[in-house]
Amino acid sequence: MKAVCWMGKEDMQVHEVPEPKILNPRDAIVRVTTTCICGSDLHLYDGLVPTLAQGDILGHEFMGEVVETGPGVDSAKLKTGDRVVVPFTIACGGCGPCHEELWSLCDNSNPNAWFVEKLMGHSPSGLFGYTHMMGGYAGGQAQYVRVPFADVGPIKVPESLRDDQVVFLSDIFPTGYMAAENCNIKPGDTVAIWGCGPIGQFAIRSAFMMGAGRVIAIDHVPERLQMAREGGAETLNFDDVDVLEALREITGSKGPDACMDAVGMEASGHGMQYFYDSAKQKLRLVQDRIGVLRQCIQACRKGGTVSVPGVYAGFDDKVPLGAFMNKSLTLKTGQTHMMRYMKPLLERIEKGEIDPSFVISHRLPLTQAPEGYRIFREKEDHCTKVVLDPWAEAAAA
Amino acid sequence: MPLMLLAGALGAYSLVRGKPKLVATAAVGAIGAVAIRRSAEKAATEQGKPDAAVASFVIRCSRERAYELWRDFENLPRFMPHLQSVTRREHQSHWTVAGPLGVHLSWNAEIVEEVENERISWRSLPGSLVTNEGAIEFRPGPHEGSILATLRMQYFLPGGAVGKTFTTMLGRNPEFTVREDLRRFKAFLETGEIPTTAGQTHGPRGIHGHLQNILLRETSNMPKPQRTAKVEPIRRIA
């Protein structure tokens, strides 16, 4: 089968690889019909997250048809022929965190838990197509994929909905939604969202669903700001204005009730602080550029909430803990607890409340994934989201 | 002493030739040589202290189920992949491990104490090649429906400090092994299987990819897939 492999920094290649096999009783094999490139794949592309190995298959946003199930899969929940969206976090359904619906913190799904424990104290759940410290599971930018604990995560979707309407239930829609939920929004609240990529876009729309009065979206890519305005947000371009001053002015010196960092470890910016972060990251002295997180803490109103869906990987410095403590802020973050949100959000899509396909800018065959990574990273050609068809060329042939 | 000289010579040569892999080998060799010497001296004067390791995990299951799984020692190789087999007849048991470099070691053990649903302890019989003691204990956990499992192991590794260095290099350091064994026991009880990526598909690894897999110990520690296991997995929590 064809699969998108990480061969080194900024070196994605499509290779013919062996098809996945059922390894454990509760595994299933899914024939992938649609898969996507995520912003967090770009951190891997840029070689910034450690423990990725040459030859790893990436991809954690995918859906398809179940073609084989292991003997331990509960057939009442999943069987061959089901059309499913697979969440990017892998959860066993049997451990303490799973019972508390903290699905992305599953105790059992990361076979390399010992490794990440040394770094973080505890291990979060395994992830598809990510680093080896997050389990090293082969990902879904391929024609077939092995899905462990297949009767817990995957959600069946009706034939009436197209792939591009439901595929984002695998990550970015629930992630944007949980990020908005983490803002602790009360009716009429003002929410500032840094980053108008796909997560930011879904967060803007989710914040309004939760009753936000105003959403202020911050970015510098014109088409992304335009998309944010279409979602009802007011926008700030950080190339043109001083974000902190602008937010103070807009909110009457109060500051946004909640600030969201939907950017993460590769924040862009200006001035000395950005230069300092970039230099340290290039020298591998820190993993993350935390410019946006600093702004979130600085801008947030007293007693407000900072929500962080953006990915961070390491130990970072110059965190304004003084402001954080003295302003009584609340910080909420985490990988998305997918299974909490997939079903209710599918219902919203079915009711026509939202059509998530609005974020798609590019539809490419899987074989053009390397080009997809490049344009997505460079934000060329108005690229906001790349969707890949694993079978496009096979169908044409 | 000749070993140390050899290691030193190798180290110097590889530093000059800029071969980092050889430098590492030489360093390990030198440490090994010191360890052999010290262990020989120690053996001449005293018996040495055993290596003790302990690990605890909170597991979502009943004490009955955990006890049931453990007391049948023949289950142990399911979550202790370094064990080749264990057979038990009443208070006696026979253990076989696949040691380093494909060497098989076996020994006999006896049950020291067995309290239903609470604890089991065992120790090797005098004259065994591998002298060891072990105990598993199940206590009520912090929440309803959970238990606190504690595994303690104590053993004199063959080869003393050298043996320990060697097993550490192979990813079988006692502390690590005990913790990972108990982690797999927990996964098996909570999910009916042990998560693994061993044998999954991937693209061309190249030298870099292979090296990284070794560094991440993926080859030495990943449990084998259970699809081929002779025994059916036990019922998991609904």
pLDDT tens, residue by residue, A73-115? 999 999 999 999 999 999 999 999 999 999 999 999 999 999 8
Q: Please report the ipTM that was assigned to this predicted complex.
A: 0.91
Q: Are residues B25 and B118 in the same domain?
A: no
Cβ contact (<8 Å) for A108 and B206? no
In chain A, residues under CATH classification 3.40.50.720 are 173-333
Residue, of B172 and A177, whose pLDDT is higher: A177
Q: Are residues B78 and B131 in the same domain?
A: yes
Domain count of the fold of chain B? 2
pLDDT(A4) > 80 = yes
CATH number for B210: 3.30.530.20
B226, part of any domain? no
Q: Which string of DSSP letters, residue by residue, matches B31-42?
A: HHHHHHHHHHHH
Q: Is residue A284 very low, low, confident or very high in pLDDT (cuts 50, 70, 90)?
A: confident
Chain B residue with CA closest to A106: the answer is B187
- Mean of pLDDT values over B70-86: 90
Q: Are residues B191 and B99 in the same domain?
A: yes
B2, part of any domain? yes
Cβ contact (<8 Å) for A55 and B199? no
Contacts of A256 (CB under 8 A, 6+ apart): A190, A191, A192, A216, A247, A299, A300, A301, A304
Q: Are residues B84 and B183 in the same domain?
A: yes
What confidence score (pLDDT) does residue A150 get? Answer: 97
- Beta pairing partners, B107: B95
Q: CB of B117 within 8 A of CB of B138?
A: yes
Q: Are residues B201 and B112 in the same domain?
A: yes
Q: Are residues B88 and B39 in the same domain?
A: no
Residue with tokens 């930011």: A200
Name the token pair of B3: 């070993």
**Which chain A residues have a beta carbon less than 8 Å from that of B226?**
23-25
d(C-alpha A98, C-alpha A108), whole Å? 10
What confidence score (pLDDT) does residue B216 get? Answer: 66
| A53 interface with B at CB cutoff 8 Å | yes
Which of B191, B221, B222, B237 is best to mutate for the A interface (most A CBs within 10 A)? B191
- Mean of pLDDT values over A118-122: 91
Share of chain A above pLDDT 70, in %: 99
Q: Are residues B27 and B119 in the same domain?
A: no
Cβ contact (<8 Å) for B216 and A136? yes
Q: Are residues B32 and B59 in the same domain?
A: no
**Alpha carbon of A135: minimum distance to chain B alpha carbons (Å):** 8
Chain A residue with CA closest to B179: the answer is A114
What confidence score (pLDDT) does residue B29 get? Answer: 47
What 3-state DSSP class applies to A169? helix
| A150 interface with B at CB cutoff 8 Å | no
B231, part of any domain? no
Instruction: Please count the other Cβ atoms lying within 10 Å of the Cβ belonging to residue B143.
Output: 12
pLDDT(B93) > 70 = yes
| A109 interface with B at CB cutoff 8 Å | yes
Lowest average pLDDT, out of A223-227, A281-285, B20-24, B182-186, goes to B20-24
**Alpha carbon of B69: minimum distance to chain A alpha carbons (Å):** 17
Burial profile B45-68: b = 16 or more Cβ within 10 angstroms, e = fewer: eeeeeebebebebebbbbbebbbe
Q: Are residues B64 and B22 in the same domain?
A: no
Chain A residue with CA closest to B206: the answer is A54
Cβ contact (<8 Å) for A54 and B204? yes
**Which chain B residues have a beta carbon less than 8 Å from that of A114?**
176, 179-180, 183, 221
Residues in chain B: 238
In chain A, residues under CATH classification 3.90.180.10 are 2-171+336-396
Q: CB of A191 within 8 A of CB of A239?
A: no
Cβ contact (<8 Å) for B201 and A146? yes
Q: Are residues B11 and B39 in the same domain?
A: yes
pLDDT(A163) > 50 = yes
What confidence score (pLDDT) does residue A34 get? Answer: 98
**Alpha carbon of A126: minimum distance to chain B alpha carbons (Å):** 10
CA A364 to chain centre: 20
Average pLDDT of chain A is: 95
Q: Are residues B153 and B39 in the same domain?
A: no
- A vs B: CB pairs below 8 A: 143
Which of A13, A58, A95, A141 is best to mutate for the B interface (most B CBs within 10 A)? A95
B236, part of any domain? no
Q: Is residue B7 very low, low, confident or very high in pLDDT (cuts 50, 70, 90)?
A: very low
CATH class of the structural domain A173-333 = alpha beta
d(C-alpha A201, C-alpha A357), whole Å? 11
Cβ contact (<8 Å) for A23 and B190? no
Out of A20, A53, A70, closest to residue B209 by CB: A53
Cβ contact (<8 Å) for B203 and A7? yes
Task: Choose among A222, A316, A231, A223: nearest CA to A267.
Answer: A316
* C-alpha atoms less than 13 angstroms from C-alpha of B147 in its C-beta half-sphere: 22
pLDDT tens, residue by residue, B209-237? 788 777 766 655 566 665 444 444 444 44
B115, part of any domain? yes
Which of B200, B211, B230, B235 is best to mutate for the A interface (most A CBs within 10 A)? B200
What confidence score (pLDDT) does residue B34 get? Answer: 46
Q: Are residues B81 and B184 in the same domain?
A: yes
Residue, of B99 and A77, whose pLDDT is higher: A77
Cβ contact (<8 Å) for B187 and A92? yes
Q: Which one of 3.90.180.10, 3.30.420.40, 3.20.20.70, 1.10.3720.10 gives the CATH number of domain A2-171+336-396? A: 3.90.180.10
Q: CB of A125 within 8 A of CB of A110?
A: yes
Q: Which domain holds residue B106?
A: 49-221
| B18 interface with A at CB cutoff 8 Å | no
What confidence score (pLDDT) does residue A272 get? Answer: 83
What 3-state DSSP class applies to A224? helix
pLDDT(A264) > 60 = yes
| B181 interface with A at CB cutoff 8 Å | no
Which amino acid is it at A320? P
Residue A178, phi then psi, degrees to nearest 5: -65, -35
pLDDT tens, residue by residue, B31-77? 444 444 444 344 333 455 667 899 999 999 999 999 999 999 999 99
**Which chain B residues have a beta carbon less than 8 Å from that of A127?**
none
